[in-house]
């Protein structure tokens, strides 16, 4: 729908009084809210629910027409309140929409969008995609105050799922008792002790609580607001951590968690890495389309390298002379020359429209790329061709080429599984249930254990890569563990 069209539609609604009394602030008309909401939608929602709201069958439910039906529903807390809850707290469980099943995990937005932005995006969705015509009652736009009134309850996605059951009753899903719809139970055979499974420390960046936790000793280090991605220096003595929404990059001492520097690079900071020689830290600022170069001696920002549209994360070549940066907004990688500290060129990644996270094979000849919506691709650096694209769990996730192993592993934030791929035969060897919303994946340097940050269950799941079984689930001290850093496996 065009802007003009949205604005025309809301004018019509205004004139028939639907939006009357919508907002205490006169300047903030329903028009303004809807057009801001459109921006929020294309930046935050469209990657999954698609630009026209049509969704991806089996992975992401449609917003088209469906959201109005949810709004109209009368059971439980009512459709209007239900939608506010879904946006605040996310949703986890098996649902059915127009005959198609989804068993995913919608991220919570309470921590990353403001109340106003949540109100705006709901106002947009409910007046776009054929929803407006289906609303069964007068629509008063959501306000920031209304969203605020449902906040602070600290619900899980599974609890919102319970609310949904009452709201939509039998029109929402097919069959089966609620209990069986919960994330599959994980049989954690505790034959391996935690100390055995974590021979070296694992550093979890716990985003919503703004801490880094060192395991297995369970030291929790505060002061890292929005702790998002983290990476270790090659000597293991420093940790570089990105602040989601703060746009800061923090450098921490791995002995005691002291924050040695906090460097502003932009409004959001994404992937971080330290160069193999330990000289530079790189951090991605997606909205500016740059990679920030931090001198790891003076702990200062030395340069911002323009790389392209919506960069996300990066990996160094084995000799450290190049950095490969994923361009989520371009369907390509940027190649950065680390001597000149400038972008050299772009490598397209056909079959992967939104390259997100990335790792490199041990021989340095192949790049393994995880996209934003549910694929992994392997790119041969000699021919610069994508050799194969695998369908993996829905949503975005980390990717790790396991050291001393044939395996590559990836998470899936909108699902509950880690997919393991055999890099020699180029086949999927396992899909392991680990809990809801696994994102970060990193293996121990010896390649024996894989650590996965399970965002919605607030734990680190440990997979034994020999038996391909989950052997431990370690709760973290805080909410939304997003990423893990492991010594010897950058």
Nearest to ligand HEC of 131, 458 (CB atom): 131
Q: Cβ 92 to ligand HEC, closest distance in Å?
A: 5
Q: Which CA distances in Å does 317 have to 57, 117, 294, 343, 412?
A: 37, 39, 18, 14, 25
Structure tokens belonging to residue 182: 């919960």
Q: Does 126 bind ligand HEC (CB under 6 A)?
A: no
Nearest to ligand HEC of 202, 413 (CB atom): 413
Binder of ligand HEC out of 68, 73, 106, 198 (CB under 6 A): 106
Could you tell me which residues come within 8 angstroms of residue 464 by beta carbon, excluding any fewer than 6 positions away?
192, 197, 448, 449, 470, 471
Q: Cβ 233 to ligand HEC, closest distance in Å?
A: 31
Q: Does 349 bind ligand HEC (CB under 6 A)?
A: no
Q: Binding string, 351-390, against ligand HEC, x = CB under 6 A?
A: ----------------------------------------
Q: Cβ 155 to ligand HEC, closest distance in Å?
A: 14
Which strand (E) or helix (H) includes residue 312? strand 311-316
**Contact indicator for 6, 36 with CB cutoff of 8 Å:** no
Q: Cβ 115 to ligand HEC, closest distance in Å?
A: 13
Q: Cβ 37 to ligand HEC, closest distance in Å?
A: 9
Binder of ligand HEC out of 22, 34, 70, 392 (CB under 6 A): 70
Q: Does 47 bind ligand HEC (CB under 6 A)?
A: yes
Total binding residues toward ligand HEC, as defined by CB under 6 A: 30
Q: Which CA distances in Å does 323 have to 200, 202, 362?
A: 27, 24, 15
Nearest to ligand HEC of 65, 362 (CB atom): 65
Q: Does 448 bind ligand HEC (CB under 6 A)?
A: no
- Phi and psi torsions of 325, nearest 5°: -110, 130
Q: CA-to-CA distance for 230 and 451, rounded, in angstroms? A: 14
Stretch that binds ligand HEC, among 26-34, 80-88, 146-154, 240-248 (CB under 6 A): 80-88
Q: Binding string, 143-172, against ligand HEC, x = CB under 6 A?
A: ---------------------x--------
Burial of 133 (0-12, 13-18, 19+ CB in 10 A): exposed
Q: Cβ 262 to ligand HEC, closest distance in Å?
A: 28
Q: Does 456 bind ligand HEC (CB under 6 A)?
A: no
Binder of ligand HEC out of 53, 79, 104, 481 (CB under 6 A): 104
Nearest to ligand HEC of 45, 293 (CB atom): 45
Q: Cβ 242 to ligand HEC, closest distance in Å?
A: 19
Q: How many residues does the chain have?
A: 490
**Contact indicator for 132, 39 with CB cutoff of 8 Å:** no
Phi-psi region of 379 (alpha: psi -120 to 50; beta: other; left: phi over 0): beta
Q: Which CA distances in Å does 162 have to 171, 259, 261, 456?
A: 14, 41, 43, 16
Nearest to 311 by CA among 266, 351, 277, 276: 266
Nearest to ligand HEC of 104, 281 (CB atom): 104
* Beta strand ranges found along 381-425 (DSSP E): 385-391, 399-401, 407-410, 417-422
Q: CA-to-CA distance for 449 and 472, rounded, in angstroms? A: 10
Q: Does 244 bind ligand HEC (CB under 6 A)?
A: no
Q: CA-to-CA distance for 62 and 54, rounded, in angstroms? A: 5
Nearest to ligand HEC of 91, 206 (CB atom): 91
Q: Does 79 bind ligand HEC (CB under 6 A)?
A: no
DSSP assignment of 250-270: EEEETTT--EEEEEE--S---
Q: Cβ 26 to ligand HEC, closest distance in Å?
A: 26
Q: Cβ 379 to ligand HEC, closest distance in Å?
A: 23
Q: According to CB under 6 A, which residues from 390 to 419 bind ligand HEC?
A: 395, 413-414
Radius of gyration of the chain (CA): 23
Binder of ligand HEC out of 19, 71, 88, 107 (CB under 6 A): 107
Q: Does 92 bind ligand HEC (CB under 6 A)?
A: yes
Binder of ligand HEC out of 29, 103, 288, 419 (CB under 6 A): 103
Other C-beta atoms closer than 10 Å to the C-beta of 42 total 12
The residues of the shown chain that bind ligand HEC, judged by CB under 6 A, are: 44-45, 47-49, 60-61, 67, 70, 83, 86-87, 91-93, 95, 97, 102-107, 109, 121, 125, 164, 395, 413-414
């Amino acid at each position: 729908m065009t802007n003009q069209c949205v604005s025309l539609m809301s004018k019509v609604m205004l004139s028939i009084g639907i939006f009357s009394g919508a907002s205490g602030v006169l300047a903030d008309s329903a028009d303004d809210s809807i057009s801001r909401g459109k921006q929020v939608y294309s930046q935050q929602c469209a990657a999954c629910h698609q630009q026209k709201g049509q969704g991806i069958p089996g992975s992401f439910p449609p917003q088209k027409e469906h959201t109005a039906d949810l709004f109209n529903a009368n059971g439980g807390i009512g459709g209007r309140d239900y939608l506010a809850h879904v946006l605040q707290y996310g949703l986890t469980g098996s649902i059915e929409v127009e005959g198609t099943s989804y068993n995913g995990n919608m991220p919570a937005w309470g921590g990353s969008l403001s109340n106003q932005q949540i109100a705006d995006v709901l106002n947009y969705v409910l007046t776009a995609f054929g929803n407006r015509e289906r609303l069964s009652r007068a629509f008063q736009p959501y306000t920031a105050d209304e969203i605020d009134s449902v906040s602070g309850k600290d619900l899980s996605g599974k609890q919102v799922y319970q609310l949904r059951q009452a709201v939509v009753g039998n029109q929402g899903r097919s069959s089966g008792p609620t209990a069986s719809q919960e994330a599959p139970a994980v049989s954690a055979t505790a034959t391996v002790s935690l100390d055995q499974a974590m021979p070296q420390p694992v550093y979890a960046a716990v985003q919503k609580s703004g801490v880094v936790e060192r395991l297995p000793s369970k030291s929790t280090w505060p002061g890292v607001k929005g702790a998002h991605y983290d990476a270790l220096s090659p000597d293991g003595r420093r940790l570089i951590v990105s602040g989601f929404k703060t746009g800061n990059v923090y450098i921490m001492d791995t002995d005691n968690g002291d924050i040695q520097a906090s460097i502003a690079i932009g409004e959001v900071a994404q992937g971080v890495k330290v160069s193999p020689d330990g000289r530079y830290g790189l951090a991605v600022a997606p909205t500016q389309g740059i990679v920030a170069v931090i001198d790891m001696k003076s702990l200062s920002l030395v340069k911002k390298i323009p790389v392209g549209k919506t960069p996300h994360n990066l990996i160094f070549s084995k000799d450290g002379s190049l950095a490969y940066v994923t361009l989520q907004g371009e369907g390509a990688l940027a190649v950065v020359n680390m001597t000149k500290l400038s972008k050299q060129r772009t490598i397209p990644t056909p079959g992967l429209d939104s390259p997100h996270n990335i790792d490199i094979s041990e021989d340095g000849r192949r790049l393994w790329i995880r996209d934003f919506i549910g694929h992994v691709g392997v790119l041969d650096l000699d021919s610069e061709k994508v050799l194969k694209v695998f369908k993996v769990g829905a949503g975005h996730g980390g990717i790790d080429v396991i050291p001393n192993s044939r395996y590559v592993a990836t998470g899936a934030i909108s699902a509950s599984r880690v997919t393991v791929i055999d890099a020699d035969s180029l086949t999927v060897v396992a899909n392991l249930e680990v809990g809801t919303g696994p994102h970060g994946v990193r293996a121990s340097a010896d390649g024996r254990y894989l650590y996965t940050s399970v965002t919605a269950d607030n734990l680190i799941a440990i997979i034994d890569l020999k038996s391909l079984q989950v052997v431990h689930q370690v709760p973290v001290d805080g909410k939304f563990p997003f990423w893990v850093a492991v010594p010897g496996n950058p």
